[in-house]
Homo-oligomer: A and B are copies of this chain.
Amino acid sequence: MTENDRQTEEKIFESATEVFVAKGMDGARMQDIADLAGINKALLHYYYRTKDHLFNAVFEKIAEQMFRKFSPVFDANLSLEEKIRFFFSEHISFLQKNPRLPGFLINEVNRNPERIKKFLRNIEIEKLWQTLLSQHQEEMKKYNITNETIPQLMSSIAALSVFPFAARAILEALFERMGIDFKEYSEQRKEYAADFVIRAISK
């Protein structure tokens, strides 16, 4: 693969990412992607045979980015409280830079649940799960956490971080009427959400 190939292929991939995230699989047009990349449609099909192939490449990359942000939480040598603060700070910072990713993923995954199942097959969920459990078994006793409530807790943490960005358009419409700035809100959220969770699990 020559330098020129790599550049074109990358440019296509970047443009496709932007268009797919903005309009979704169904709303995106190959013509839009070609225009944004400054090339013509035929070249898209030369590199990625079909729209579906191109979309899949973009989806996998984005899903990987989102989940990679979670993984340090599982093996970092931090206390539970430190992990929670670390997670919200890092994850919300990532979402501030990529505010449309949550909505994109939620939509495409609802549209085609097989996509995420296939993606997760390459991730050792069970292993991460066991690591996390064993790492904090002792610490959990100090908090209001049992093995049974961990799914509730983890989904709550994800919810508090991701939801404001997924539902951003709704929140912004409401905030506009209440004189609140979304940027300020999301910056405050890093600390608020961490405090919120820690108080909620404290005995």
Interface residues of A (CB under 8 A from B): 23-27, 100, 103, 105-107, 109-111, 113, 116-117, 120, 125-126, 129, 144, 149, 151-152, 155-156, 158-160, 162-164, 166-178, 180, 185, 188-189, 192-193, 195-197, 199-202
Q: How far apart are the CA atoms of A151 and B181 in the complex, in Å?
A: 11
Q: Whole-angstrom distance from the CB of A164 to the nearest CB of chain B?
A: 6
Q: How many copies does the complex hold?
A: 2
What is the CA–CA distance of A200 and B168 in the complex, to the nearest angstrom? 23
Please indicate the chain B residues that have their CB under 8 angstroms from the CB of A167 in the complex.
Answer: 106, 109, 158, 162, 166
User: Which of A126, A192, A202 has the most chain B CB within a 10 Å cutoff?
Assistant: A192
CB <8 Å contact, B151 and A185: yes
Q: Which of B174, B185, B200 contacts A196 (CB 8 A)?
A: B200
- Quick check: B109 and A106 within 8 Å, CB to CB? no
- On chain B, the residues within 8 Å of A195 by CB distance are 200
- In the complex the two chains form, is B173's CB within 8 Å of A116's CB? yes
* Residues of the B chain whose Cβ atoms lie less than 8 Å from the Cβ of A174: 120, 125
Q: Which residues of chain B come closer than 8 Å to A126, judged between CB atoms?
A: 177-178
Query: 3 smallest A-B Cβ distances: which pairs?
Result: A159-B163, A26-B26, A26-B27
